[in-house]
Amino acid sequence: MQQVFKRPASLMDVQTHFCPGCQHGTIHRIVAEALDEHGLRDRTIGCASVGCSVFLYSYFDIDVVESPHGRASAVATGVKRARPESIVFTYQGDGDLAAIGTSEIIHAANRGEDITVIFVNNTTYGMTGGQMAPTTLVGQKTSTTPYGRNQSKDGAPLKMAELLSNLDGVAFSARVAVNDPRNLIDARKQISRAFRYQAEGKGFSFIEALSACPTNWGMNPLQANARVGAELIPYFPVGVFKNVHNL
Amino acid sequence: MQARKFVKGNEAVAMAAIEAGCRHYFGYPITPQSDIPEYLAREFPALGGEFIQAESEIASINMLLGASACGVRAMTSSSGPGISLKQEGISYMAGSELPGVIVDICRQGPGLGGIDASQADYFQATRGGGHGGYRIIVLAPASVQEMYDLTMLAFDLSDIYRMPAMVFADAVIGQMKEAIIPNPRPAATLPAKDWVVRGRKEGTEQRVVKSLKLGDGEMEAFHWQMHERYHELQEKESRWEEFETADATLVVTAFGSAARIAKSAVMAAREAGMKVGLLRPITLFPFPAKAYHDLTGRCRKILDIELSTGQMIDDVRLSVQPGTEIDFYGRPPGAGSLPTPEEIFEQIKNALLIFTNLSPFTRF
Amino acid sequence: MRHDLFISGFGGQGVLLAGNLLSYAAIREGKNVSFFPAYGVEKRGGAAMCTVIIADGEVGSPVVGNPSVSVLLNQLSFDKYYPKVASGGICIVNTSLVDTAGHVRSDVELIAIPMNEIANSLGDPRMVNMVAVGAYAAKSGAVSIKAVEDALSDALPERNHRFIPANVKAIAAGADRTV
């Protein structure tokens, strides 16, 4: 009998703490598959962030450095400069990367650090209980926008994949989703590509992964997954925004 | 004898970092410490060093954290406003038991303050500075030679005790030039860095550098472990200079630039026949409490001099024997606010005249 | 022996170079030295000032309130630092730019040297600081003229070593005026 589906070696055989219907687990898996595919695991160092992604080291069977809130790309810069032979990636949420860590991500990207950033956008602060994120959609109700995000007061959601693609230091930038088989297959392709950029020393690669947060969206998993397609993707289109070496 | 080099205090720090094997520097410009990044930006390329002028002090301390987690010797430097921003990262480094050297060339505050010398960041440096109840090693050079020697020591102590170490000086010591002997890196027995992240090879354990401790009792145990380490530091690493204290009735105490100025006043007092000595803490954390305790069995009074309204005096009070009288003379920071030896000499005379807690018969 | 000195003038008069040169000369003679430039806001105001201490033993405080010697190159510096010279001390003044009238202190020896005129007569108005250094070294004895001349190669950047002979002449001219 042939085994056609198994746990990626870069992931540990443990149960995650993620809520039912949360897509962090799926995104973890795809990242691990990419590390396996390129044979990178034994030289990979992950930089965990603060938020639901904080337990990176409990799920990835790799060495990990914890970073202060928002600072993962600065920590990753230090790691990569100290161990240039390593594969270094950060895994950050929307509050972490696009609010408190905006300065660090912009400048790490602009320096063209040879790292890979996995940015999970679920339009809310998951760990702290569903407050407004910089990516919360206009009109979206959160615990700190009980009447819905008001663009005139709160601004419009940040489109990080597009924004970063405008920087000269960025080699690859793409937005992916894991809400349906077609998007999932594409997500695997883009995340694999992002790590290939780094493995080949070709520069800064950025993946924005749209993710469902049923708990904080007040939905069941199916409804939340449906919202990704119905509301998130129309505002945050999936696609490749930059691919300078056409990998 | 090795040739002496005539250099600025800040340059001595950068030279010592190179000698100590530091090849990773992350910083952000701020007066009066910018000579340090400028020196390293110039010298690192030929040495294969990594220099990053970061987008902020926050980013630079986190780059230090990342590099240190990989086991390399790394350094950042700044001054008051920038050191405030670095506190977040310093707290995470303390919580993650990461070494790393932070140079603080103090200026005035609060706020933007000014760029002249100050010692008003003593509390910030010696009380940990950030959240969570930790301490860091704090070394206070009083000469350009010590800027050099203590920077190398900071790297060693930081590696040995797995905690951040700060070289704590000010604009006087950072900007002045003196002839130094660029000593070679001292021999030190350093523990193996068997905790650094390096990529988990097949058959090796996963390594994680982190400060999050959620297990039952895990954080409490960590705090007691840190407490033990601080105690060990106190026992083994307290450093101070004593000058003419053996028969001193009055002992002047000060650190860094204030101690340099005070020492000239003490010399003048000795020339005038007064029994005055100087006690200069070299380590501010660990504070050399024992030196004060032992000394106050012999001398009658301490005169504490600081470029602030009094911060180290809290540690002095906690260290002296009960009943010891302590006078204080402070010159809070500001342009044109540096005390002179002549001024401190007057304070010494006053302190000798008035022993308020003694009977008039013991006056002299 | 311990010599402490203020040198002050406006930016461009070479005050810091003068202080550095004396420091290097002292180091060549095996002495200890500290050089402390006035730092900060004053620097922006076009004023330049440094404190130099030369000692056989420990330098002690790099900060001095009342120096034994002051070398003052412009009026502003004279007005500010002449009153601070220690009693029994010496003040070397660039009388090309300083009017000393009405400020006479009986307890301070005032040495008046028209440094700009001397520098101009040597063909280089930039040599004012070297005239001052020569005068200080000769008058105080803190360092020898020979050490100062030798130290020019330490204090000047390589590209300016071609000016060393001119500097040597200016130092000698300053020294002559104190005899």
CA gap B253, B142 in Å, rounded: 13
Question: Considering chain C, what percentage of its residues have pLDDT values greater than 90?
Answer: 88
Average model confidence (pLDDT) across chain A: 97
B99 and B174 share one domain: yes
Alpha helix locations (H) across chain B?
A: 9-19, 35-47, 57-69, 80-95, 122-126, 144-161, 171-175, 218-237, 256-271, 289-295, 312-319, 341-353
> Which residues in chain B touch residue A97, judged by CB atoms under 8 angstroms apart?
none
Q: Which residues of A sit within 8 Å Cβ distance of B?
A: 41-45, 47-48, 54, 57, 61-68, 71, 74-83, 86-87, 103-104, 106-107, 111
Give the B window 82-141 contacts with A, CB below 8 Å.
88-89, 92, 96
Structural domains counted in chain A: 1
pLDDT digit string (tens) for A137-188?
999 999 999 999 999 999 999 999 999 999 999 999 999 999 999 999 999 9
Chain B residue numbers with beta carbons less than 8 Å from the beta carbon of A41 are 199-200
Examine the domain organization and report whether B231 and B298 are in the same domain: no
B230 and B290 fall within a common domain? no
Instruction: With respect to residue A1, please indicate whether it lies within any of the assigned structural domains.
Output: no
Question: Residue B337's pLDDT is what?
Answer: 78
Among B202, B235, B268, identify where a domain stops: B235
Mean per-residue pLDDT, A98-123: 98
Contact with chain C for residue B289, Cβ under 8 A: no
What is the DSSP annotation of A142-211?
BTTBTT-B-HHHH-PPP-HHHHHHTSTTEEEEEEEE-SSHHHHHHHHHHHHHHHHHHHTT--EEEEEEE-
Would B124 be classed as within a structural domain? yes
Q: How far is B28 from chain A (nearest CA, A)?
A: 13
Residues of B in contact with A77 (CB under 8 A): 52, 59, 63, 66
Task: Please state whether at least 3 CB pairs lie below 8 Å between chains C and B.
Answer: yes
Domain-embedded: residue A4: no
Asked if residues A57 and A64 have their Cβ atoms less than 8 Å apart, the reply is: yes
Position A219 in a domain: yes
- Contact between chains at A65 and B24 (C-beta distance less than 8 A): no
Of B6, B171, B263, the CB nearest to C23: B6
Q: How far is B115 from chain C (nearest CA, A)?
A: 6
pLDDT in the model for residue B355: 59
- B205, B235, B265: which is the final residue of a domain? B235
Residue C174 in tokens: 């300053």
Tell me the average pLDDT across C109-131: 96
Domain for residue B202, yes or no?
no
The whole-number pLDDT of residue B156 equals 98
Helix %, strand %, coil % for chain C, to 5?
45, 20, 35
Q: Does B71 touch chain A (CB under 8 A)?
A: yes
CB pair distance less than 8 Å for B197 and A42: no
* Chain C residues with CB-CB distance to B343 below 8 A: 65
Q: How confident is the model at residue C46 (pLDDT cuts 50, 70, 90)?
A: low
The answer on B277 and B153 residing in a single domain is no
Domain boundary residue, one of B235, B266, B301: B235
Among candidate residues A211, A235, A214, the one with its CA nearest the CA of residue A223: A214
Amino acid at B213: K
Of all residues in chain B, the one with the smallest CA distance to C31 is B179
Confirm or reject contact between B256 and chain C (CB < 8 A): no
Same domain, B144 and B252: no
What CATH number is attached to the domain comprising A116?
Answer: 3.40.50.970
Residue numbers in B near A54 (CB within 8 A): 212
Give how far Cα A238 sits from Cα of A93, A135, A190, A228, A235, Å. 17, 15, 11, 11, 9
Q: What 3 state SS string does B141-159 have?
A: CCCHHHHHHHHHHHHHHHH
Sorted by where each starts, the structural domains of chain C and their CATH numbers stand as: 2-176 (3.40.920.10)
> Do residue B92 and residue B167 come from a single domain?
yes
Q: Which residues of B touch C65 (CB under 8 A)?
A: 340-343
CA atoms of A204 and A210, how far apart (whole Å) = 20
Q: Which residue of B has its CA nearest to A82?
A: B67
- The pairing of beta strand B276-281 with beta strand B240-243: antiparallel
Backbone phi, then psi, for C25, in 5-degree steps? -65, -40
Q: Is residue A202 part of a domain?
A: yes
Which tens digits make up the pLDDT trace of C9-21?
998 899 999 999 9
Residue B41: inside a domain: yes
8 Å CB contact of B24 and A62 = no
Residue B296 located in a structural domain: yes
Is the residue at A2 inside a domain? no
- Give a yes or no: residue A9 inside a domain: no
Residues B166, B255, single domain; the answer is no
Following CA atoms B121, B262, B277, B270 in sequence, which dihedral angle do they give, to the nearest 10 degrees? 180
DSSP-based three-state secondary structure for B363:
coil
Note down the domain range covering A108.
24-243
Contacts of A106 in chain B (CB under 8 A): 55
Distance CA A71, CA A73 (A): 6
Total residue count of chain C as it appears in this document: 179
Question: Residue A213, CB half-sphere, CA atoms under 13 Å: how many?
Answer: 27
Beta strands A131-132 and A124-125: pairing type?
antiparallel
Which residue matches tokens 């020896």? C109
Confirm if B134 and B98 have CB atoms less than 8 A apart: no
pLDDT at C45: 52
Mutant choice from A77, A80, A111, A167 vs B, greatest count of B C-beta within 10 A = A77
Model pLDDT for residues C57-112, shown as the tens digit of each residue: 999 999 999 999 999 999 999 999 999 999 999 999 999 999 998 878 999 999 99
- Which parts of chain B sit beneath pLDDT 70? 1-2, 355-364
Mean per-residue pLDDT for A51-77? Answer: 96
Q: Which two tokens stand for residue B67?
A: 């590099």
What are the tokens at A151? 């663009």
**Do B179 and B54 fall within a single domain?**
yes
| Nearest CA-CA partner of C66 in C46, C45, C47, C89 | C89
Tell me the backbone φ, ψ of residue A119, rounded to 5 degrees.
-110, 115
The pLDDT of A203-224, averaged and rounded, is: 97
Residues with Cβ within 8 Å of residue B131, at least 6 apart in sequence: B87, B91
Q: Which of B114, B179, B261 sits opposite C61 (nearest CB)?
A: B261
| Tokens matching residue B21 | 């094997």
Q: Specify the amino acid at residue A166.
A: N
pLDDT of residue B364: 36
The number of domains in chain B is 2
Residue B321 gets which letter from DSSP?
A: P
Q: Are both B133 and B14 inside the same structural domain?
A: yes
Q: How many angstroms separate the CA atoms of C14 and C20, rounded?
A: 10
pLDDT at B2: 60
Are B292 and B168 within one domain? Answer: no
B119 domain residue, yes or no: yes
Whether this model's pTM surpasses 0.80: yes
Mutate one of B210, B212, B213 to test the A interface: name it (highest A CB count within 10 A).
B210
| Beta carbons of B339 and C63 less than 8 Å apart | yes
Find the domain containing B28 and state its range: 5-187+226-235
Number of neighbouring beta carbons within 10 Å of residue A148: 15
pLDDT for C146 equals 97
Are B54 and B147 part of one and the same domain? yes
CATH number at residue B296: 3.40.50.920
Phi, psi of A134 (to 5 degrees): -65, -15
pLDDT score, position B114: 86
Domain match, B95 and B136 both: yes
Indicate whether B216 belongs to any domain. no
Residue B166 distance to chain C (closest CA, Å): 23
pLDDT at B116: 86
Distances B12 to B141, B147, B178, C59 between C-alpha atoms, Å: 11, 6, 10, 18
Angle at A85 between CA B21 and CA A46, to 5 degrees: 100
Question: In 10 A of CB B309, how many CB atoms?
Answer: 12
User: Exposed, middle or buried, A85 (CB in 10 Å: 0-12/13-18/19+)?
Assistant: exposed
Measured between alpha carbons, how far is residue B227 from residues B100, B164, B220, B240, B341 in Å?
Answer: 19, 15, 11, 22, 39
**H helix or E strand, kind and range, residue C157:** none
| Strand arrangement, sheet containing A170-177 | A239-243, A170-177, A204-210, A116-121, A87-93, A44-48, A63-66, B208-209
Q: Residue B209: inside a domain, yes or no?
A: no
